[in-house]
Amino acid sequence: MLKIKAKIEKQIENLENSIAASDVTLEDSRAAQAELSVMFDHLTDVPVPAANLAGLPENFEAVSEKARRASEEDHLARLQATLASNLMVGTKSYIVSNEKNLVSPAGFHPSEKVFVQTRIAIHTDSLDNLPASNVKLFSHKIGEAA
């Protein structure tokens, strides 16, 4: 588990460094995000071929760069939530749990088989002979055994 948490800690460190190096305030960055949203709304009203981005406002790149700070702050919050969460690593072909869906936390792709810990989590290579339960259980195929 330490290796998994270390990956998130490194991502947090990189984001914190990027945020600290930014000369854009969070308030200005949030305003830039709102401005980008308006720009994108306008683009949906006017058909613009993917190869021809001449329809973008001249300041699109500058506004996009300014909005990056807010996006990094949001991602940082999600990574910190991941770091504070109990996580589990799928080590078998299936995870049988009391949750209908397994959640891959921020910083992980489902193919990495890292999920938020569920109350019930049975890691198994076979769905035969599962223990009886008075709770509805769901099986999740997560791939070949690690």
53 or 66: which leads in pLDDT: 66
Encoding tokens for residue 81?
Answer: 């939530």
Distance CA 146, CA 143 (A): 8
53 or 120: which leads in pLDDT: 120
pLDDT tens string 54-109: 556 667 788 888 999 999 999 999 999 999 999 999 999 999 999 999 999 999 99
Distance CA 92, CA 130 (A): 14
Distance CA 49, CA 51 (A): 5
pLDDT of residue 146: 47
The mean pLDDT value for 11-15 works out to: 96
Query: How far from the centroid of its chain's Cα atoms is residue 59's Cα?
Result: 28
Every domain of the chain and the residues it spans: 2-84, 87-141
| Predicted TM-score (pTM) of this structure | 0.77
Residues with Cβ < 8 Å from 61, sequence gap 6 or more?
A: none
- Token look-up 């709304």 returns 41
pLDDT tens string 14-49: 999 999 999 999 999 999 999 888 877 766 665 655
Residues with Cβ < 8 Å from 3, sequence gap 6 or more?
A: none
